């Protein structure tokens, strides 16, 4: 398993490729709000709330963020969710996440937020929406990074959480301007996707895109369920799709992108080793693969490292990496002008790099 000591930079990618990736304009489509809290923010919040079991020492967090399995990961994740108690915590977290993305040349990110987890812990819903929107606008003005939201249902919390998430996402008085999509996260085992159909139907009717997690910890049938019952336009992870050639052909034919997060899959032990990751099977089948970081500090990674990992697994040079970055732009929910702008930036960076 990848340890935090060697994570954050794939040692097998060349120094040059790392430098190319670091400067490459990128879009991130699968990254969680709370799961992006930096060790500094987590330890600051933990110090403010001494009743929490989360370590206050940033150094100790690497151990705390070493997971025995997916269920353990969710336990730890929720202990960090418990640290976010006020609208100011939400604003600060969102703004700092945007700063970390901007440092990696991320021009556009769809950030998955679980509003149910905050409102059920007593944060006022209007203050919550104001906090994320305030941070989004500040981040765009100060860093130039465009943020958009995906509100996800924490499936294991039951239909009550689905109802609350659908309400927050579709009520015109609450729904934030930056909201573009509707998701479903958390464990998959014992949480069948079809039960969430009415909530996805409402979100889709309200103009939101459908982007559930599926096939991360269960088989390809869950991905089929996400497609057939939830109207999925992209799939979060979709790792087990590799076991079903008919599914791979369907994803490829319909340009349904997979949001691949290689290091996450190792850290949660959904996949045993990076070399066993099915990313190559996806590209071989013609599936639109996008590269993402999921919960970067918790997995000791960042988006740049995920691109370096993908480059190694797919044996890509700079042009191949640039094509992966363009896949994310294509699969994003940006408008055509926004897509064209970032794609042109990717081309400009690549041409300038290769002409050195």
CB of 127 to Zn ion, least distance (A): 25
Contacts of 213 (CB under 8 A, 6+ apart): 152, 183, 184, 185, 186, 188, 235, 236, 237
Smaller CB distance to Zn ion: residue 28 or 133?
Answer: 28
CB of 217 to ligand LNDFFVEH, least distance (A): 8
Q: Which stretch binds ligand LNDFFVEH (CB under 6 A): 77-85, 86-94, 137-145, 322-330?
A: 77-85
Smaller CB distance to ligand LNDFFVEH: residue 225 or 295?
Answer: 295
Q: Which stretch binds ligand LNDFFVEH (CB under 6 A): 47-55, 151-159, 219-227, 247-255?
A: 151-159
Q: At what angle do helices 220-230 and 245-253 cross, to 10 degrees?
A: 40
SS3 category, 201: helix
216 is catalytic: yes
DSSP 281-346: HHHHTT--EEE--BSGGGGT--HHHHHHHHHHHHT--HHHHHHHHHHHHHHS---HHHHHHHHHHH
Q: Which stretch binds Zn ion (CB under 5 A): 78-86, 201-209, 289-297, 344-352?
A: 289-297
String of contacts with ligand LNDFFVEH for each residue 252-291, x by CB under 6 A: ------------x---------------------------
Catalytic residue among 96, 216, 233, 306: 216
Contact 9, 308 (CB under 8 A): yes
How many CB atoms lie under 10 A from the CB of residue 190? 8
> Which of Zn ion, ligand LNDFFVEH, none interacts with 96 (beta carbon under 5 to 8 A by kind)?
none
Nearest to 274 by CA among 5, 10, 8: 10
Q: Is 171 left (phi over 0), alpha (psi -120 to 50) or beta?
A: beta
Residue 294 touches Zn ion, criterion: CB under 5 A: yes
Tell me which residues are annotated as active site: 216
Binding stretches for ligand LNDFFVEH (CB under 6 A): 32, 35, 74, 77-78, 81, 112, 114, 117, 120, 152, 154, 156-157, 185-186, 213, 216, 264, 294-295
């Amino acid at each position: 398993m990848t340890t935090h000591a060697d994570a954050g930079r794939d040692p097998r990618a060349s120094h040059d490729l790392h430098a190319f990736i670091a400067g490459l304009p990128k879009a991130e489509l699968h990254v969680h709000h709370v799961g992006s809290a930096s060790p500094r923010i987590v330890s600051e919040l933990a110090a403010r709330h001494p009743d929490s079991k989360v370590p206050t020492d940033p150094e100790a967090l690497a151990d705390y963020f070493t997971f025995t399995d997916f269920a353990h990961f969710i336990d730890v994740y929720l202990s960090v969710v418990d640290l976010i108690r006020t609208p100011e915590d939400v604003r600060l977290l969102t703004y700092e996440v945007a700063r970390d993305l901007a440092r990696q040349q991320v021009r556009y990110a769809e950030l998955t937020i679980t509003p149910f987890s905050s409102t059920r812990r007593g944060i006022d819903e209007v203050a919550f929406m104001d906090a994320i929107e305030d941070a989004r606008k500040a981040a765009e003005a100060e860093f130039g990074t465009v943020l958009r939201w995906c509100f996800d249902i924490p499936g294991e919390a039951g239909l009550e959480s689905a109802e609350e998430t659908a309400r927050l996402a579709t009520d015109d008085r609450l729904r934030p301007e930056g909201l573009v999509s509707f998701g479903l996260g958390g464990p998959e085992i014992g949480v069948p996707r079809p039960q969430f159909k009415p909530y996805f139907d409402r979100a889709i009717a309200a103009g939101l895109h459908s982007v559930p997690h599926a096939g991360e910890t269960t088989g390809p049938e869950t991905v089929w369920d996400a497609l057939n019952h939830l109207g999925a336009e992209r799939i979060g992870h979709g790792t087990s799709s590799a076991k079903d050639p008919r599914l791979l052909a369907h994803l490829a034919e319909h340009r349904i992108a997979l949001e691949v997060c290689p290091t996450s899959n190792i850290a949660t032990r959904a996949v045993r080793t990076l070399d066993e990751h099915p990313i190559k099977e996806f590209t071989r089948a013609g599936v639109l693969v996008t590269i993402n970081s999921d919960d970067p500090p918790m997995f000791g990674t960042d988006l740049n490292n995920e691109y370096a990992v993908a480059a190694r697994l797919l044996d890509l040079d700079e042009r191949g990496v640039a094509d992966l970055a363009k896949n994310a732009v294509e699969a994003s929910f940006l408008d055509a002008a926004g897509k064209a702008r970032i794609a042109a930036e990717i081309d400009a960076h690549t041409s300038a790099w290769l002409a050195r």
